[in-house]
């Protein structure tokens, strides 16, 4: 009986020691990334929780979630980003949380295996405005972010709308829908999103706004007041603003 109790005690002690060692190993581990900076939109990045078995039950999370798609596979995860910015990749294993930070730039990753699909004929884009204040050289500047969302659905749940602004004319246009290679495509269909950032003249109520979609150029103007977008936009199809206040011409 004494030997049996001793065996049970030693087994429990061994289990606790192994568990403690695993926790210490997890706590001292890192999340290794195939790339942490100058990541392009649509460029696949692989993350690995080091020093633990491949099949370990790791809970992965990306912050912020908007503009990012994360696919977990044990101690590894793959990510695609559709919006430029800074992201934190967190991995939780046995209550040990480790993370790594990455930076995505405003360029598009386009290897030959990826595809760019043309917008369907008659596509309508819904436009949502986000307005932020940005301190620059001692004064407050207004930053206007226009997010365009297609009405039609396109292949891959991690697709995104290729959106750009001409630096000379200021005309906003679209190159199509970016769809990653099948190895990184999350199966399904969804609407596509893309955004541009504008810095309007806060003293003007007639900031020019031109958007080209499927060969048609839509023209209007806008201003921002009290974090609200006011826009002259005489159109009822093609490009539709969802949270802007329409104003009359020659306002």
Q: What is the CATH number of the domain that holds 39?
A: 2.60.40.10
**What's the confidence (pLDDT) of residue 145?**
92
123 with 85, same domain? no
Q: Average pLDDT of the chain? A: 84
The residue among 108, 123, 152 that closes a domain is: 108
Does residue 104 lie within any of the structural domains?
yes
DSSP state of 212: E
125 and 238 co-located in one domain: yes
State how far the alpha carbon of 41 is from the alpha carbons of 10, 52, 105, 171, in Å: 54, 30, 7, 21
Asked whether residue 17 is domain-assigned, the answer is: no
Confidence of residue 184 (pLDDT cuts 50, 70, 90): confident
Using DSSP's 3-state secondary structure scheme, residue 56 falls into coil
Domain end (from 61, 88, 108): 108
Its pTM stands at 0.58
Q: Is 23 within the bounds of a domain? A: no
Q: Domain of 235?
A: 115-246
128 and 230 in a single domain? The answer is: yes
Give residue 74's pLDDT band: very low, low, confident or very high (50, 70, 90): confident
Cis bond upstream, residue 64 (ω within 30): yes
119 shares its domain with 239: yes
pLDDT surpassing 60 at residue 138:
no
- Domain boundary pick from 89, 108, 127: 108
Task: Give 12-54 pLDDT, tens digit per residue.
Answer: 444 334 444 444 444 446 788 889 999 999 888 999 887 777 7
3-class state of residue 183 by DSSP: coil
SS3 for 146? strand
Q: Structurally, how many domains does the chain consist of?
A: 2
Alpha carbons 31 and 62: distance in angstroms, whole number: 12
**Positive or negative torsion for Cα 84, 88, 92, 93:** positive
């Amino acid at each position: 009986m004494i030997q049996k109790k001793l065996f049970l005690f030693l087994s429990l002690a061994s289990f606790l020691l192994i568990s403690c060692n695993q926790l210490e190993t997890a706590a001292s581990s890192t999340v290794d990334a195939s790339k942490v900076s100058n990541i392009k939109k649509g460029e696949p990045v692989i993350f690995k929780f080091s020093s633990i078995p491949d099949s370990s039950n790791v809970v992965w999370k990306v912050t912020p979630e908007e503009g990012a798609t994360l696919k977990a596979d044990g101690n590894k995860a793959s990510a695609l980003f559709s919006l430029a910015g800074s992201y934190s990749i967190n991995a939780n294993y046995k209550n040990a949380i480790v993370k790594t930070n990455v930076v995505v730039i405003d360029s598009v990753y386009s290897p030959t295996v990826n595809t760019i699909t043309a917008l369907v004929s008659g596509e309508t884009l819904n436009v949502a405005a986000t307005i932020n204040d940005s301190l620059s050289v001692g004064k407050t500047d207004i930053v206007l972010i226009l997010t365009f969302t297609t009405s039609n659905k396109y292949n891959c749940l991690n697709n995104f709308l290729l959106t750009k602004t001409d630096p000379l004319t200021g005309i906003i246009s679209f190159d199509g829908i970016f769809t990653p290679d099948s190895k990184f495509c999350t199966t399904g269909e969804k609407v596509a999103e893309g955004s541009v950032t504008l810095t309007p003249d806060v003293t003007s109520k007639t900031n020019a706004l031109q958007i080209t979609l499927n060969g048609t150029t839509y023209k209007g103007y806008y201003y921002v007041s009290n974090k609200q977008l006011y826009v002259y936009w005489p159109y009822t199809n093609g490009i539709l603003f969802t949270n802007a206040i329409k104003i009359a011409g020659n306002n």
